[in-house]
Amino acid sequence: MTLRWSLSLFVMCICFKVSPTEASSWTVKVPSSVKGHLGLCVVIPCSYDFPSPENEASEFTGIWYNNNDQVICHSNASQILDPFLNRTKLLGDLSMKNCSLMIENLQQSDGWPFYFRIEIKGYNQYSYINDKVSISLSQPDLSVQEEVKEGENVSASCSVFHSCPTYPPSFIWSHSGEQHDQTQQLHEGQWNSTSTLTFRPNRSDHNKTLKCKITYHHGLLHETSKILQVKYGPDIKTSSKCSSEDTVVKCECTVESEPPSMVHFVLGDRVMQSSKAEKNGSVTTETLQTDFGSFSFVHCLAINVVGYDNILLSLPVKDNMQNILISSGAGVILLIILIGSGVGVVKKWKKNREHIPCPDIYPNDPVYGNIP
């Protein structure tokens, strides 16, 4: 009894396995949308199916329609409407149930979405009107870090989606660097072409556009761009100086940096507020106008997130004393240490601007105050 049950179950299983699991029907496999560019070629991957006929089907006619039911592609080319003539092509082999379509020189007026129809001689015909394929116009995309540092390697990438691997795009960058292009297949006949540029920006690139030009076999051009933000440490201009007009003495300190620097004047051991700041792009000029007493030097100190710089400016005063210089130097060093440890980002130490006497040379010297 149990044996017979198992046996019949076994037979049933075999039957279910052997018999065709699902009958083929009027179905089509297409993406609901493909990426394309006006003026360029688009490929719609397509495969279709139909219920198995009793006699083998041998003659197939494949037709693609647009949303206005105009014939955009026909396996008998003489049936193709004029605006689509020579622009569309059935890539697929209809007898292999492949209905892939290529459209060249895509136009807005092509009237997507498109759908497929199959006519099988001596059997039947079917329009797959419920599976229309739309075209989404894709824009190239450029990505680069929002802020980059001068002298550091940066990579930017420019990518574009397309569906026509026959004619991959080529990329041209506005900045020199190491360029690497690749094309990668995504799902459903969609492709992603990317160009990566590795370059080392400098200050002259700040606020400049980085452009990626994309050309296709037609010479058609797309351009995309981003503005570069290049950070760099302060550079105190040699035009910085102290001057006197009548009885008024003022000191100007001109600093170029990105982002703008905090600028300090140090007189003796006092940090002075500048009385005026003028900004022009990345260049800031700060002016100190005060009673300089009998000091012969004033320090200008500039700091931003990338680094710092300092310079010693001579005051137009006759009697200069070495000890004041030492004392002002000590004040600057103290300030550098304070700011440096506070900000924690001081990286740059410009040796060529090193006017500060090293305090180790005068270990036993008293620190002089602001003796008039």
Ligand X SMILES: *[C@@H]1O[C@H](CO)[C@@H](O)[C@H](O)[C@H]1NC(C)=O
Decide: is 159 part of the binding site for ligand X (CB under 6 A). Answer: yes
Instruction: Report the nearest approach of ligand X to the CB of residue 209 (Å).
Output: 10
Q: Give CA–CA dist 150/172, Å, rounded.
A: 23
Q: What is the Cβ-side half-sphere exposure of residue 201, based on CA atoms within 13 angstroms?
A: 26
Would you say 27 and 47 are in contact if contact means Cβ atoms under 8 Å apart?
Answer: no
Residue nearer to ligand X on the CB measure, 204 or 238: 204
- The residue from 281, 316, 342, 369 that contacts ligand X (CB under 6 A) is 281
Please state whether beta strands 270-272 and 308-314 pair in parallel, antiparallel, or not at all (unpaired).
unpaired
Instruction: Report the nearest approach of ligand X to the CB of residue 243 (Å).
Output: 18
Per-residue DSSP letters for 27-63?
Answer: EEE--SEEEE-TTS-EEE--EEE-PPPSSPP--EEEE
Decide: is 136 part of the binding site for ligand X (CB under 6 A). Answer: no
Residue nearer to ligand X on the CB measure, 122 or 363: 122
In Å, what is the CA distance from 30 to each residue of 34, 166, 189, 207? 9, 20, 10, 45
Please state whether beta strands 248-258 and 283-289 pair in parallel, antiparallel, or not at all (unpaired).
antiparallel
Stretch that binds ligand X, among 84-92, 122-130, 292-300, 348-356 (CB under 6 A): 84-92
Q: What is the Cβ-side half-sphere exposure of residue 132, based on CA atoms within 13 angstroms?
A: 14
- The residue from 89, 132, 149, 203 that contacts ligand X (CB under 6 A) is 203
Instruction: Report the nearest approach of ligand X to the CB of residue 40 (Å).
Output: 18
Please state whether beta strands 170-173 and 209-215 pair in parallel, antiparallel, or not at all (unpaired).
antiparallel
Q: Which of 91, 98, 58 is nearest to 73 (CA)?
A: 91
Q: How big is the site for ligand X, counted in residues (CB under 6 A)? A: 26
Instruction: Report the nearest approach of ligand X to the CB of residue 47 (Å).
Output: 5
Instruction: Report the nearest approach of ligand X to the CB of residue 80 (Å).
Output: 10
Decide: is 280 part of the binding site for ligand X (CB under 6 A). Answer: yes
Q: How many residues appear in the chain? A: 372
Decide: is 282 part of the binding site for ligand X (CB under 6 A). Answer: yes
Instruction: Report the nearest approach of ligand X to the CB of residue 327 (Å).
Output: 36
- The residue from 36, 62, 92, 268 that contacts ligand X (CB under 6 A) is 92
Q: Which two tokens stand for residue 61?
A: 């006619």
- The residue from 24, 25, 76, 275 that contacts ligand X (CB under 6 A) is 76
Decide: is 85 part of the binding site for ligand X (CB under 6 A). Answer: yes
Instruction: Report the nearest approach of ligand X to the CB of residue 135 (Å).
Output: 18
Residue nearer to ligand X on the CB measure, 204 or 352: 204
Q: Give CA–CA dist 90/102, Å, rounded.
A: 6
Would you say 72 and 64 are in contact if contact means Cβ atoms under 8 Å apart?
Answer: yes
For residue 68, give every residue at least 6 positions away whose Cβ sits within 8 Å of its Cβ, in sequence order, or none: 111
Question: For residues 146, 336, 348 and 233, what is the CA-based torsion angle, rounded to 10 degrees?
Answer: 40
Quick one: how far is CA 61 from the chain centroid?
46
Residue nearer to ligand X on the CB measure, 8 or 182: 182
Decide: is 259 part of the binding site for ligand X (CB under 6 A). Answer: no
- The residue from 52, 79, 174, 322 that contacts ligand X (CB under 6 A) is 79
Decide: is 198 part of the binding site for ligand X (CB under 6 A). Answer: yes
Instruction: Report the nearest approach of ligand X to the CB of residue 245 (Å).
Output: 20
Chain positions 31 to 60 lying near ligand X, rule: CB under 6 A, are 47
Hey, how many other C-beta atoms are within 10 angstroms of the C-beta on 186?
11
Instruction: Report the nearest approach of ligand X to the CB of residue 285 (Å).
Output: 9
Segment (H or E) for 161: strand 154-162
Decide: is 130 part of the binding site for ligand X (CB under 6 A). Answer: no
Q: Give CA–CA dist 214/139, Å, rounded.
A: 11
Residue nearer to ligand X on the CB measure, 188 or 269: 188
Residue nearer to ligand X on the CB measure, 25 or 184: 184
Which stretches of the chain bind ligand X, using CB under 6 A? 47, 76, 78-79, 85-86, 91-92, 98, 100, 153, 159, 176, 178, 184, 186, 192, 194, 198, 202-204, 207, 280-282
